[in-house]
Homo-oligomer: A and B are copies of this chain.
Amino acid sequence: MQFGLLNAVRETRLPLRIYYEDTDAGGVVYYANYWKFCERGRTEWLRALGFEQQTLLDEAGLAFVVRKVEGDYLRPARLDDEIVVNTVMADARRASLKFTQYIERGTERLFTATVSIACLDLASGRPAAIPEHIRKTLEAAA
């Protein structure tokens, strides 16, 4: 199987509660905070595969950084809501990953996003190949 052709490998669902800190004076969740929820979702997706970002940083000097995002705000989330962040890997290449994410409240879709991630060598600041053992895990999960 070719690595670049992986599609929708795994999906993780992360349930979250909306607290005061997430809302704004408009009475709904502040628009930038959906990106926090999405990042929590991607972190749990990675953790479900057995990887932690801190370990990647400490052991290999690598970090996954966001390059590009697109987001559609469909309906607002509100205080005390229970929402679910769904995270799907849409594509994987030598030095980058692409995710599709959507946030739901029950069966209502509130927010959808696509997020492009690059693997970076922090010392040089340049793109780096995703480590072999992570690539193998991604392939095995396909």
CA distance A65 to B32 in the complex (A): 12
CA distance A80 to B55 in the complex (A): 10
| A78 and B32 contact, Cβ closer than 8 Å, known pairs A19-B39, A70-B70 | no
- B26 adjacent to A65 (CB under 8 Å): yes
Which residue from chain B places its CB closest to the CB of A74 in the assembled complex? B67
Q: 0/1 per residue, A16-28, Cβ < 8 Å to B?
A: 0101110111111
Of B43, B65, B67, B71, the residue contacting A72 (CB under 8 A) is B67
Q: Interface size class for chain A?
A: 35 or more
Q: 0/1 per residue, A69-96, Cβ < 8 Å to B?
A: 1111100101110000000000000000
Give chain A's interface residues, CB within 8 Å of chain B.
Answer: 17, 19-21, 23-28, 30-33, 35-36, 39-40, 43, 52-54, 57, 63, 65-73, 76, 78-80
Closest 8 CB pairs of A and B: A23-B25, A32-B35, A31-B66, A21-B36, A20-B24, A25-B79, A54-B79, A70-B70
